[in-house]
A and B are shown apart, each in its own frame.
Chain A
Amino acid sequence: AQSVTQLGSHVSVSEGALVLLRCNYSSSVPPYLFWYVQYPNQGLQLLLKYTSAATLVKGINGFEAEFKKSETSFHLTKPSAHMSDAAEYFCAVSPEGAQKLVFGQGTRLTINP
């Protein structure tokens, strides 16, 4: 079964610093990959998705992610962190032929002033 692993349950960066959230997937075929963000007491909001059109995917709020097949990775980055980026981030895979999302455990991002 396809799955995703998010390395680091908690990441802390300073305001203005680079944000890097790691996600690795297990799949024998190119999957469809997503990053979602969850603010406290809210549902999930889509940041970006990879559907094989381009390996570098740009999303909302200045986030982007790069699909690297050789590394089976889909890491999320943002050049300069803002206080409003503090939230829980989830990587998810949608297996081809399946009607569902499989989520990672999540990474809590904390921004230090």
Chain B
Amino acid sequence: DAGVTQSPTHLIKTRGQQVTLRCSPKSGHDTVSWYQQALGQGPQFIFQYYEEEERQRGNFPDRFSGHQFPNYSSELNVNALLLGDSALYLCASSLAGQAFQETQYFGPGTRLLVL
């Protein structure tokens, strides 16, 4: 049973560019959440997708956007990259329902470096 997968594993971009990160959820899961983990800090919630719609959003600017596809996979897009966007981006999947008590399973992350 495949767990959560993310691609690419590493990415280097320059300021002002745009980036797309991809995530495939654990088999049977229908909800995808994205987190940003800056170096030395805990992950910060970006947003969550369910039924191809953004269900909840954290305190991130509109430069961060996402999408969920009918097969439940998801993309995270970041426009106009800033140096401060350099971080590990984690995708987590879970089952819908009472999501606040559902376990979220994390992928290995995509490490983004903005120069």
Determine the distance from Cα of A100 to Cα of B103 in the docked complex, in whole angstroms.
10
Those of A78-110 within 8 Å (CB) of chain B: 90, 92, 94-106
Determine the distance from Cα of A32 to Cα of B102 in the docked complex, in whole angstroms.
9
Check B25 for interface membership: any CB of A closer than 8 A: no
Determine the distance from Cα of A49 to Cα of B94 in the docked complex, in whole angstroms.
14
Residues of chain A within 8 A of B109, CB atoms compared: 42-43
- Is the pair A99, B48 in contact by a Cβ cutoff of 8 Å? yes
Check A14 for interface membership: any CB of B closer than 8 A: no
- Is the pair A90, B101 in contact by a Cβ cutoff of 8 Å? no
Check B70 for interface membership: any CB of A closer than 8 A: no
Identity of the chain A residue whose Cβ is nearest the Cβ of B103 in the assembled complex: A46
Q: How large is the interface on A (under 10, 10 to 19, 20 to 34, 35 or more residues)?
A: 20 to 34
Q: Mark B73-115, 1 if CB is under 8 A from A, else 0.
A: 0000000000000000010100000011101111111000000
Residues of chain B within 8 A of A95, CB atoms compared: 100
Check A44 for interface membership: any CB of B closer than 8 A: yes
Among the listed B45, B56, B92, B101, which residue makes an inter-chain contact with A32, where contact means beta carbons less than 8 Å apart? B101
Residues of chain A within 8 A of B42, CB atoms compared: 90, 92, 103-106
- Is the pair B108, A101 in contact by a Cβ cutoff of 8 Å? no
Known: A43-B106, A100-B48, A105-B42. A51 touches B56 (CB 8 A): no
| Residue among A36, A41, A99 with the highest chain B CB neighbour number at 10 A | A99
A residues contacting B by CB (< 8 A) are 32, 34, 36, 41-46, 49, 51, 90, 92, 94-106
Sample of 7 A–B contacts (CB below 8 Å): A42-B109, A44-B43, A46-B105, A100-B56, A101-B43, A101-B92, A105-B41
